[in-house]
Chain A
Amino acid sequence: MVIELITQQIPLVLNALFLASVLFLLGTGLSIIYGMLNFLNLAHAAFLVLGAYVASTVVTQIVGVFGDTLGTSGLFIILVLGLLIIVPFIIAMVGLTMEQTIFKPIYGLEDDYQLLATFGVILMMEDGMKFIWGGQPVTASAPSELLGSISLLGGSTYPLWPIFGTVLTMVIGIVLYYFFEETRLGKITLAMAEDDEIVGVTGINTRLVHLQVYVIGITLAALGGALFIPNASMTSGLALQFVILAFAVLVIGGLGSLKGAIAASLLIGFTRSFGSYYIPQLELAIVFILMAAVMLIKPTGLFGDIKA
């Protein structure tokens, strides 16, 4: 009985970790772009959706070209490389183009206006994606199928892809942490978050640093989409869902805090996974309750120090 209760929790923990991974990739980008560049981008989550759509195309193409010639493991490796390199690269290019054309004019605006202008951007992006990929659900299950599944303690089957995605995200998290804490560029970025004029005076090209942070943020969201889609599907209209989740990570974790984004993702992931298992009536509201609760108890978020 007790053993059964414990084995029941294993898939829930794995579900929570994978959900947290996607949320981390989604929320961290939003958080660092707002925290360090002071750009509040409501459309940030649309890059995850775009990443998922592009990933589905990339996967289909790779399977079409290499599906018959390569063995299982060879195909899997190519697919993962496609998801981890080609997808972020394409999104980075799209993101940079958008940065040059439509985000640049709104950098100087107040937060409220940035929110509203980027709300307009998300509407445009959604219809743009619908134009390319249609309104029907799009999938890319090949990577997950190739990886297969394992038998958990207690006999239940569990797919390996979410576990793989979780491990991959941990690696990305560590690299990010190293980047911001240990590298020169990371330190400059952190300094810029405090005062970019002073950094500018020292002769550093702040615009370049700015672009680098922006691209890192967008790329993380794209990776989130690429890891998400092999296990699910993407449909037009889901972007707004991710907008809410991204902002939940932002306010729960605190602005511009990597630690905060990790904590918030885990908190949301576990609350949602266990909450919707044990109290399914609350599934629709869980994220919002969590958001309101954290804001009321600690307005700056779990790890934020910027005053509300």
Chain B
Amino acid sequence: MSQDTKTELRGVIRQRVTTLPGLATAAFVMLALSFPYLPSTGQFEVFLVAQIFAFAIAAVAFNVLLGYTGLLSFGHAAFFGGAAYAVGFVLRYTAISELFILLPIGIVTAAALAVVIGYISVRYTEVYYSLLMLALSFLIYVLMVKLYTITGGTDGLPISAPTVGGVDYVALWGYSGFLQGILYYVIAISFLISIGLMWIFMNSPFGLTLKTIRDNPERARAIGIPVIKYRWYATIVSGVFTGVGGVMYAVLNSHITPDTVLHWSRSGEFAFMAVLGGVGSFVGPIAGAGAFIMIRSQAQQLTEYWHFVMGAALFLIIVLEPAGIAGIAKRSYRKATESIRGDD
């Protein structure tokens, strides 16, 4: 083989390899959109995948802080549950039941909470940040439990099926038609748009600045980056998209309670998903959310000691594979490309 053809071949392979993520993304989008129509897909699978999407939005948003900014929040349930409760209140106290009104209300609520909670907490880092977020978000949890005449207390609020674009699909198609034909797509598309927007954010100068701060706050400060302000912005971006996840979760689950959307163990789950998927990777937490939901669902079927299984999973992934599923994927990807190159 001549030197020229060798270089050419390398070029082709390199091109193929660099577009592989692009291809994978396209395949993923196709699969997501056609999923309800796949032959083996039942109503439960549609529900489960939609739930994974809702959590994946929140997990990726969570990782904007943990992975890109280096802040571990134990208070993200405030944004998730805050948005969910906003939807619940509107449904309970007004005649509004239109998803395209409920969603912005949820997002604005999450944003408002993120502005306030973020403003207070971003001056702190490490365990102090984690615990301050925990304390502040717990106060919202307490409010929802305490003001039970308004909030339904620990019994929570029902979330009735909303109209979408003014059409009451439940009346038209029944709930299962609504779930598989409309709600799933609303959630899947919200997921794709949210992930897309966050990807743009994180690859913009804004995202790069965050990384600089994460890697070396002192140096960032020295070169004139307003560190605390950027952390605040990151908290707001993260909070807003966590809120999107919360709205989707609420509508899908059709009932919310303080324990399911506002408790700090929910924040812990987001962290779990991010770590499981890999905090160093943008898409890792998506895989993390999926894996988390599947592992837990399986473990709950297998044993009443499923908390042990989840605990062991969290512990082992941190000790054995701190880069998470994304780390495993990257390694096998590298091995694959090496073996292709090895063919030279």
Contact = CB atoms under 8 A, between A and B. Distances in A.
In the complex, A touching B, CB below 8 Å? yes
Interface of A: 40, 102, 105-106, 109, 111-113, 115-117, 119-128, 130-131, 240, 244, 247, 251, 281, 284-285, 288-289, 291-292, 295-296, 299, 308
A127 B307 contact: yes
Q: Which 10 interchain pairs have the tightest Cβ spacing?
A: A123-B311, A120-B314, A120-B315, A127-B308, A124-B311, A112-B72, A120-B311, A292-B135, A285-B142, A117-B318
B135 A288 contact: yes
A60 to B, nearest CB: 24
Given A109-B318, A281-B146, 4 more contacts: A124-B308, A292-B135, A295-B135, A299-B128
A112 B126 contact: yes
A116 B314 contact: yes
Interface string B296-318: 00000000010110111111101
B142 A131 contact: no
B247 interface: no
B131 interface: yes
A121 B313 CA distance: 10
Interface stretch (B34-42, B96-104, B108-116, B268-276): B268-276
Most chain A CB atoms below 10 A, which of B139, B271, B307: B307
A240 B310 CA distance: 16
B318 A116 contact: yes
Interface residues of B, number: 39
A131 B307 CA distance: 12
A125 B120 CA distance: 34
The dominant DSSP class at the A interface is helix
Contacts of A106: 318-319
Nearest to B268: A119
Given A120-B315, A295-B132, A115 B127 contact: yes
A127 B306 CA distance: 8
B250 interface: no
Contacts of A247: 131
A117 B268 CA distance: 11
B233 interface: no
B138 interface: yes
B48 interface: no
Contacts of A105: 319
A308 B136 contact: no
